Structure formats: C-alpha cells, structure tokens
Structure 1
C-alpha cells in the first residue's frame, strides 16, 4: 500500500521504493495494478456516478449565477500522453457523458434565455471552457503526479484503472472536505434460453435516435449560442 500510494501521489518509479519498503520492483507494479482495479470495482458506483437531481439543481444554480442559465458545466479533452492518443472529437464520441440523455433517462432540465424556452442542458466548450477544465485537471495532477507525465503502462485497461482511481480518490477528498467544512466547492440472472431477435425498429431505439438527433441539432445549437450572446450582453454590456 505504501509503495502504491507513493507511485500515485509522487509519480516515482517502481524501483525507487525498494530500499524504503523492502519489496522488489515487480511486486510494487503488481500491487499497483491490484490496488487500482480494486478501487474502481468498489467505489465507482458512488464516486463516478452520473449527476442526480440534486446535483443538477446545484449545477444549474451555479451556471445561472455566472450568467449562463441551463449550463451543466464545462467540457474539454485533456490528453494523457501516449503514442496512441485520440483527438478531442474521437474522445468525446467515446465518452458516456451524454449516454443518459440519449437513452431518455436524464433528469429534466428547463430554462429560458432571451424569451426562448429550452429543455436540454448544455456544456461550455472550446476556448471558454478550456481554462476551467485544465484548472480542474491541474488540481488532480497536483494530488496525483503519476498522471502528469507520460503513461507508464501499455495496456489501456491498466491506464484507465489508474486514471479512474485518481479521480475517485480526488472525489473522496472533495467530499470529505465538503462535509468537514460545510463548503460546496465550485470546481469540482440470465436465462438459458435466448430471446428472439427482431430487426424492426423498437420504440426505445426510435427514441434513442431522436434524442441523439436533438443533441446534435445544429439549428438549436446556433440559436442557443445567439440567445446566450444577447443574454450576456444584456447583463454586462453596459460595463464594457
């Protein structure tokens, strides 16, 4: 445990703790693999869950206080350097951020901007959100130095478990500090018989396709951006 935590928090090499904890390099590496796998298996459901209704209400209130009604947060892609890194678009396509929304299970969101009504929350992206995401990821890197440099393992499963473990422990720290100080931080049985397969469009599939189209609708996207510009100008135009 000591060797594993030193590798995660200080980013030291596995053989750098040989004399300190009296175990070999290979044992340290195997201990790290077992540790991160166990943390993800035991704590993912609690500390990597999707936002619930209370979380969404809090996020919407925070966004509204900053002049962005309906905003759920900022989104950007931060790369952990490997020779096989994906670009931002591929990373977002593989992300589960919008999975509940496409499945029709996301918490309802309704708000009005510039006298136009919307029923889907949004995330700020690109340059405006980059500083927020980089700042949040910087906090994670400061606590767990192992995610600062190049990835040290070739198997993506191990790399994913390591990153998820760091995020889980970061969320544990935030939860503990929030409870201790009373402060809400801004950062942040299978049947043996197989069912018959139908090739007809099911209502759930049709709903999924419709939700996916709503998320990617360019007209709504452009309208929302224009409404936000006018809304922010109404709030802060006189001060410019």
Structure 2
C-alpha cells in the first residue's frame, strides 16, 4: 500500500515538472513572438525624417520663435549688419527673395502642421532640408533667370560702363575670379582628380560680378586640380566675343577710343586685352618718395 502511494507521489511530481516545463516553454515562445511583432511594427512605422530613425523632440516652434526674435522682429536681437555678417546677404535682399519664392510656390509658406520646422538653429530634419533645398534651387532658377542668370544685354552693358566710369574704371564690365569650394561628401574614386592645392577635394567656381554683386557669369563643377587659367580655357565667358556676337562696348580713355570691355583680374591671368590687373605699388616706397620730395621742397 505504501509502495503504491509512493509511486503515485512520484508520478504526480513528474507530471507537475512536465507542466512547469511546458509553461516555461510557452512563456518563452510568447516572449519571442512579442519581440518579433514589436520589431515588425518598428520597421514598418515611419519615425522622424528618415524611415527607421529615432524620433527626437526638437521643439521646432521654439527654434522658429528664436530665429524670428533674433533677426526678423521689429526690434531684433541682432540688427541688419549682424544678419549680413552671418548669412552673407543683406536683409532686404533676403526678404525680397523669400517673398518671391513664397508667392511662386506655396510649399515654402509656413503651415501649422509643418513637419520638420537648419538642425542646430531652427532644427530642420535632414531629409526635409534636402527636399527644401532642391525645390528652392528650382524655384530660384525659374523666378530669377530672366533678370540675373544670363549674359548682360545692351542696356546692362551701358549701365555697367556708366558705373565703372563713375568709380574710376571706364570700360570695366566686372571682376573675374575663381573660388575654391571644399567638397565634403565626394566619391572616393574622384579624390585624385578633385584634390586641390590644399590637398582636399575641391570644386572650382568661376564668377564675374559687378560692384553691387550682380553675378552674371558663373561656371561651376571643375575639379580642384585645375587653376584659374585651366578653368578660363573651358569657360564660355568669351564665346560670344570670339564669334563676334557680343554686345558693343565703346568707351574713351585719354582721347583713345576702345571697342572692347575688360575685367579686373588678379596676377595669374594672361596678359590679354580683356584683363586689367592690379598694379602693385608698395606703400612703403610711396612714403619714401613723398618724404624725399618734402625734404627737397624744404631745402629749396
């Protein structure tokens, strides 16, 4: 009798142990399933500006309000001169461009449910920044091509000559120079070709601008291994002039008539009639000469 009871107790313990193992297995399978469902939901849900990125509470409203108070309020924290220093643009010019862009495309009009309202200041998300820049460039080209992004016509030539003469440079059409822009996210295969004099990937921009920064010629995307002369050889700046289709330029200097305008340039450019270079005069030597003349006058 006691042996039968002992066997029953053993059987009960074994059944209880099997039940515990099944329950533990069930809990494990449940946890795995819950983790799988959570991962699927996380992968399918759009988080932030880029799919799968974590959401960061940027408090964009505060960023916008701070930008407005700093520069655009009736009594801003930073005046127009500081705006010009930071953004390299006069405030009235910025407002003119902003107004024209908003009138042309409602995409740039701020809405209450703006999604990603630059990251360190106004806190715009990366994808929204890229999308906005692409749209902005297209709108700028459409709006301002007829006024800015073109070669000067006869009226422009006349205006440039008048301004140049008033500033002591009759016949001047503008200033020509090249800017070297560091290229951060360049393709590694292009490193050698775009490696410039500072041993970093560079893209060169050739520009002709008037005294008021009217840029009517821009030639971009040449690699940093070029210099200003190489860029000029590939530029389209003198195509109309060489083909005889350039607008007429007539001016007089010391009773001599000229029919070809010129550009102010630095020393690297060729000795062409279309370039006038800066004449380097040592201020030290100038002061020495003036001092000698003054001494001669006193001796006389």
> TM-score, normalised on structure 1?
0.42
Q: Which is strand-richer, 1 or 2? A: 2
Q: Which has the higher contact order (CA 8 A, sep 6+)?
A: 1
Q: Which is helix-richer, 1 or 2? A: 1
In our comparison, the structure showing a higher alpha carbon Rg is: 2
> TM-score, normalised on structure 2?
0.35
